[in-house]
């Protein structure tokens, strides 16, 4: 965007630096008074009109303003680290500009580097001028990224060598500017105002006269050599006729300043837009953007970076979360289905469990029956066998049987010792009994013998 005294022009470039949108509007001459914005509302209205006309797709804007309100100085610095150049210039600014440091925005640019020093230009503008521009632009939603004097911007379109000189002549209906350019540096700008008292003829005559004077002045100072000097014409009133006319006056090669935008009055806006944007701290470009704004932009960019980063993280986490949620839902559905199935089988099983339990109980009982079947056998057969071993001379009065030991204890009397011994022998020889014990004292008497005899049953 180029802001001039009576007009505003804007050009939007694409990534291939092609002008894709342009818009321009005239503003009343009293909008700016001595470079200060005096009619803010009018200025804002016109910028709004410009934005509506251009339908620009970006709020980011690089702004150039009239060179006459800026101060450009050349200086040199000893070779110091590049990151210390800005601080060194800060110290030098007090002697370079006729304003207190706190009243100006300034920036520097390294033009050349020799074995001993940097050759630089330092550009300054009064804070009150720039601040009055910044605030309305911000209010309109624009984001200024760079401010620079328009001649400094136009110089980039000249393509002249570092030691060459040129006169940049800008002719507008309300005034003309003649800037001496050295390499990439706009050295000095002279203003020719078209005052209400001027007629077109006197205005043009003033331009011719001033140009001639300047040319003579700088030629006498050895700056404008015939072999290396060119004159460029631009501005709302520039035309081929002007180039022919000036060639006759100045005797230097004269050409219309060319830019990809066909209309001359968009040259400044194009020149402002075409330069790669660098922050004020960059020592290879001029950017008068207030440093606090740059800090805000840096902060905003950081925020945007982290916002984008976090947004992407959130997006990835959200996708993973969706996958997890999906997996959970699928697992939950499968679990629920299996649970329902298990419940139905369990219910069915429980309803039929009686059979199994009965069978299990039966099985346990059957095992017990098998295990205990031997215990069911009573001593009946052994007692029957014992009865068969008795003879008629033995009388049994009592007997005991212990199943744990399979032992028998028989108490009785025998009519003769022989009968008792026969009974003992019968027990000894029996297949059903063993360990027959007859105490010896039972054999003391030959007849009517009381006895107690013990034995065990064979299994």
Partner 1 sequence: MEQPKKQINRKTNPAYLLGAVFAAIVAINILFIMLFQSEVKTYRLLNEEKKTLDQDQMIIAASADILEKYQNEIDVISGVFPSEETFPEFIQAFENTVKGHADEYQFRFSSTPQPEGDKLYLPMTLSLKTDMTRLLLLFEALEHMPYMTHILGVAAKNSGGLSGQGQYDIGLKVYVQNPFSAK
**Interaction residues for partner 1, span 303-342 (CB under 8 A):** 303, 306-307, 309-311, 313-314, 317-318, 320-321, 324-325, 327-328, 331-332, 334-335, 338-339, 341-342
Task: Quote the CA–CA distance of 97 and 123 in Å, as a whole number.
Answer: 9
Least distance from partner 1 to the Cβ atom of residue 247, Å: 44
Is residue 135 near partner 1 by the rule CB under 8 A? yes
From 20-28, 107-115, 268-276, 392-400, span contacting partner 1 (CB under 8 A): 392-400
Least distance from partner 1 to the Cβ atom of residue 127, Å: 8
Is residue 391 near partner 1 by the rule CB under 8 A? no
Core vs surface per residue 15-38: b (16+ CB within 10 A) or e? eeeebeebbbbebeeebbeebebe
Q: Please say which residue, 372 or 440, places its beta carbon nearer to partner 1.
A: 372
Q: Please say which residue, 38 or 164, places its beta carbon nearer to partner 1.
A: 38
Strands of 214-332 (E only): list them.
229-234, 254-256
Answer whether 268's CB lies under 8 Å from 259's CB.
Answer: no
Least distance from partner 1 to the Cβ atom of residue 57, Å: 21
Which of the residues 63 through 82 are near partner 1 (CB under 8 A)?
A: none
Q: Please say which residue, 22 or 430, places its beta carbon nearer to partner 1.
A: 430
* Alpha-carbon dihedral 191, 195, 199, 202, rounded to 10 degrees: -30
Answer whether 22's CB lies under 8 Å from 14's CB.
Answer: no
Task: Quote the CA–CA distance of 231 and 217 in Å, as a whole number.
Answer: 15
**What is residue 444's DSSP assignment?**
S
Least distance from partner 1 to the Cβ atom of residue 42, Å: 17
Task: Quote the CA–CA distance of 86 and 126 in Å, as a whole number.
Answer: 18
Residue 75: which residues within 8 A CB-CB, separation 6 or more?
89, 92, 96, 120, 121, 122
Q: Which of 170, 149, 176, 391 is nearest to 272 (CA)?
A: 149
Least distance from partner 1 to the Cβ atom of residue 398, Å: 5
Task: Quote the CA–CA distance of 432 and 387 in Å, as a whole number.
Answer: 12
* Alpha-carbon dihedral 427, 432, 437, 440, rounded to 10 degrees: 0
Q: Please say which residue, 88 or 390, places its beta carbon nearer to partner 1.
A: 390
Site string for partner 1, 402-421 (x = CB under 8 A): xxx-----------------
Q: How many CA atoms are closer than 13 Å to the CA of 312, on its beta-carbon side?
A: 5
Q: How many CA atoms are closer than 13 Å to the CA of 105, on its beta-carbon side?
A: 24
Site string for partner 1, 245-264 (x = CB under 8 A): --------------------
Which of the residues 341 through 370 are near partner 1 (CB under 8 A)?
A: 341-342, 345-346, 348-349, 352-353, 355-356, 358-359, 361-362, 365-366, 368-369
Is residue 398 near partner 1 by the rule CB under 8 A? yes
Task: Quote the CA–CA distance of 51 and 21 in Å, as a whole number.
Answer: 10
Compute φ and ψ for 319, nearest 5 degrees. Answer: -65, -45
Which of the residues 1 through 40 are near partner 1 (CB under 8 A)?
A: none
Least distance from partner 1 to the Cβ atom of residue 190, Å: 29
Size of the site for partner 1 (CB under 8 A): 75
- Report the residue from 101, 213, 296, 425 that binds partner 1 according to the rule CB under 8 A: 296
From 149-157, 164-172, 257-265, 400-408, span contacting partner 1 (CB under 8 A): 400-408
Cβ neighbours around 332 below 10 Å, total = 11
Which of the residues 191 through 230 are near partner 1 (CB under 8 A)?
A: none
Q: Please say which residue, 79 or 314, places its beta carbon nearer to partner 1.
A: 314
Q: Please say which residue, 163 or 353, places its beta carbon nearer to partner 1.
A: 353
Least distance from partner 1 to the Cβ atom of residue 377, Å: 7
For 391, the 3-state DSSP assignment is coil
Least distance from partner 1 to the Cβ atom of residue 419, Å: 14
Q: Please say which residue, 6 or 385, places its beta carbon nearer to partner 1.
A: 385
Which of the residues 89 through 128 are near partner 1 (CB under 8 A)?
A: 127-128
Least distance from partner 1 to the Cβ atom of residue 383, Å: 6
Helix axis angle for 127-139 and 40-54, nearest 10°, is: 50
Which of the residues 147 through 166 are near partner 1 (CB under 8 A)?
A: none
Least distance from partner 1 to the Cβ atom of residue 448, Å: 16
Least distance from partner 1 to the Cβ atom of residue 402, Å: 5
Q: What is the largest CA-CA distance in the chain?
A: 187
């Amino acid at each position: 965007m180029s802001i001039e005294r009576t007009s505003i022009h804007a050009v939007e470039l694409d990534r291939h630096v092609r002008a894709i949108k342009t818009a321009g509007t005239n503003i009343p001459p009293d909008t700016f008074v001595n470079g200060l914005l005096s009619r803010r509302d009018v200025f804002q209205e016109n910028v709004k009109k410009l934005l509506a006309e251009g339908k620009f797709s970006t709020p980011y804007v690089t702004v150039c303003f009239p060179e006459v309100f800026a101060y450009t100085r050349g200086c040199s610095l000893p070779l110091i680290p590049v990151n210390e150049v800005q601080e060194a210039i800060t110290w030098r600014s007090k002697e370079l500009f006729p304003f207190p440091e706190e009243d100006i925005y300034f920036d520097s640019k390294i033009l050349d580097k020799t074995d001993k020093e940097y050759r630089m230009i330092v550009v300054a503008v009064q804070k009150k001028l720039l601040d009055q521009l910044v605030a309305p632009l911000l209010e309109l939603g624009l984001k200024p990224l760079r401010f620079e004097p328009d001649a400094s911007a136009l110089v980039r379109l000249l393509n002249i060598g570092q030691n060459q000189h040129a006169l940049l002549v800008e002719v507008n209906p309300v005034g003309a500017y003649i800037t001496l350019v050295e390499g990439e540096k706009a050295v000095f700008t002279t203003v020719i105002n078209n005052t209400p008292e001027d007629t077109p003829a006197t205005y043009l005559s003033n331009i011719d006269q001033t140009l001639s004077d300047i040319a003579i002045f700088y030629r006498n100072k050895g700056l404008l050599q015939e072999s290396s000097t060119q004159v460029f014409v631009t501005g709302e009133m520039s035309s081929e006729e002007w180039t022919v006319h000036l060639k006759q006056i100045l005797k230097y090669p004269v050409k219309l300043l060319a830019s990809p935008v066909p209309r001359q009055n968009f040259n400044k806006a194009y020149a402002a837009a075409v330069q790669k944007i660098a922050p004020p701290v960059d020592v290879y470009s001029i950017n008068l953007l207030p440093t606090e704004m740059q800090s805000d932009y840096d902060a905003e960019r950081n925020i945007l970076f982290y916002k984008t980063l976090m947004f992407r993280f959130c997006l990835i986490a959200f996708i993973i979360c969706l996958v997890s949620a999906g997996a959970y839902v699928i697992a939950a559905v499968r679990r629920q289905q299996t649970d329902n199935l298990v419940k139905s089988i369990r219910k069915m099983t429980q309803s039929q469990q009686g059979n199994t339990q009965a069978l299990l109980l039966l099985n346990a009982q059957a095992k017990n029956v098998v295990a205990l079947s031997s215990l069911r056998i009573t001593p009946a057969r052994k007692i029957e066998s014992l009865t068969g071993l008795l003879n008629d001379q033995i009388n049994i009065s009592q007997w005991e049987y212990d199943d744990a030991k399979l032992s028998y204890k028989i108490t009785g009397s025998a009519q003769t010792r022989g009968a008792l011994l026969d009974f003992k022998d019968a027990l000894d020889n029996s297949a059903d009994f063993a360990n027959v014990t007859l105490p010896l004292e039972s054999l003391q008497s030959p007849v009517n013998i009381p006895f107690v005899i013990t034995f065990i049953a064979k299994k």
